[in-house]
């Protein structure tokens, strides 16, 4: 007797196939939808596929740094114009002068820090002011890159662990309390493996912003005329006396000493800044200890334009490790930087005092 077979009707086969397709759809539809959304969001955010994990696009970091300096500047300006500084001493410098802290410093710091941290959470950020985590702020970035940056800067990825960001939320606080607004800046600097590669210097009270990227581009140029024999030397207001005597002995009695506030302002004095109240100088000298967030942005801008900022003995300044630079500094552009250093050997002795 032949074995009895089981035969499914065409309707049964159709039902069976539909059930199988339903199971497969349930398993894979969520996965496929998730992958589609991933690629769509990546394209919208960066104009292409997502960057490799742990990588940072320096063009994007430049764009958000420019925005951060401007946003911080808005707080600085608002506090000053409202005359609600609430200035207090936060300590003394090595020279014994009182360091001031204002509401402008704190609000600018919070705005700048959280904007940068929200955009690039894997990047180390060093700031002049302490960040109060109890007052954490959410400052989103829509990943928009300004047209002038798009036109001049190409995307460039570097490992996130190689990047250190230095922010100065209010440079020239002393002058800020004295209402000497022209000296005040907000600054952001990006260092890669300790070398400054992106610099942003923003003047809150005129809304002028200078930015530059090493081996990339900039929106600022060096001035075309310099006097190397009798240079105009810009220095801190409190250091003018220390520098003047040595400078006149070295370069002659016609040497001009320009006292000014703020490291950012002094670097801009070496460049072609289209502002009437911006003084012009040929050399910037600082003869004492100075913090790296004060000078990193200016150093990056000068490097991008072919200039130099070194210690008084000519050593490059590394933007890793401690937050201070012990060797003073000398900055120049379109001049024989080594010759300047050799002419001013005595100033290095005062830099550690």
Do residues 315 and 349 touch, judged by C-beta distance below 8 A? no
323 catalytic residue (yes or no): no
Give 40's contacts (C-beta < 8 A, 6+ positions apart).
none
Q: Which of 67, 61, 63, 70 is nearest to 124 (CA)?
A: 61
Catalytic residue among 102, 164, 173, 311: 173
| 43 in a known ligand binding site | no
DSSP code, position 51: P
Binding residue per annotation — 170? yes
State the catalytic residue, choosing from 57, 102, 103, 105: 105
128 annotated among ligand-binding-site residues: yes
The residues facing 342 across adjacent strands are none
Is 173 noted as a catalytic residue in this protein?
A: yes
Count of beta carbons in the 10 Å neighbourhood of residue 261: 22
φ and ψ of 179, to 5 deg? 65, 30
Q: Is 57 annotated as a binding residue?
A: no
Measured on CA atoms in the order 351, 311, 66, 274, is the torsion positive or negative? positive
Q: Is residue 270 annotated as involved in ligand binding?
A: no
Q: What positions carry a catalytic annotation?
A: 105, 173
Q: List the binding residues for Mg(2+).
A: 128, 168, 170-171, 294
């Amino acid at each position: 007797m032949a074995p009895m077979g089981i035969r499914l009707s065409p309707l049964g086969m159709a039902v069976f196939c539909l059930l199988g397709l339903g199971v497969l759809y349930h398993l894979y539809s969520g996965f496929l939808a998730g992958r589609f959304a991933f690629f769509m969001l990546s394209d919208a955010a960066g104009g292409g596929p997502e960057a490799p994990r742990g990588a940072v696009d320096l063009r994007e970091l430049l764009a958000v740094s420019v925005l951060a300096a401007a946003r911080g500047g808005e707080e600085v300006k608002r506090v000053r114009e409202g005359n609600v500084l609430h200035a207090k001493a936060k300590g003394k410098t090595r020279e014994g002068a009182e360091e001031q802290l204002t509401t402008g410093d704190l609000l600018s710091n919070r705005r700048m820090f959280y904007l940068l941290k929200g955009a690039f959470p894997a990047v180390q950020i060093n700031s002049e002011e302490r960040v109060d985590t109890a007052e954490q702020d959410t400052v989103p970035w829509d990943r928009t890159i300004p047209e002038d940056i798009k036109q001049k800067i190409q995307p460039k990825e570097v490992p996130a662990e190689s990047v250190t960001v230095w922010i100065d939320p209010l440079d020239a606080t002393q002058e800020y309390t004295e209402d000497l607004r022209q000296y005040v800046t907000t600054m952001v600097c990006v260092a890669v493996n300790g070398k400054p590669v992106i610099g942003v210097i923003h003047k809150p009270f005129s809304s002028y912003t200078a930015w530059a990227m090493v081996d990339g581009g900039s929106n600022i140029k060096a001035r075309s005329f310099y006097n190397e024999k009798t240079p105009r030397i810009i220095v801190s207001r409190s250091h003018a006396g220390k520098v003047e005597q040595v400078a006149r002995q070295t370069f002659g009695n016609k040497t001009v000493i320009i006292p000014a506030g703020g490291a950012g302002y002094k670097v801009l004095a070496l460049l072609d800044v289209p502002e009437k109240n911006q003084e012009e100088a040929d050399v910037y000298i600082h003869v004492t200890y100075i913090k790296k967030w004060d000078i990193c942005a200016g150093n990056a801008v000068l490097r991008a334009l072919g200039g130099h900022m070194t210690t008084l003995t000519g050593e490059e300044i590394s933007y890793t490790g401690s937050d201070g630079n012990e060797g003073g500094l000398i900055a120049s552009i379109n001049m024989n930087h080594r010759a300047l250093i050799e002419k001013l050997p005595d100033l290095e002795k005062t830099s550690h005092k």
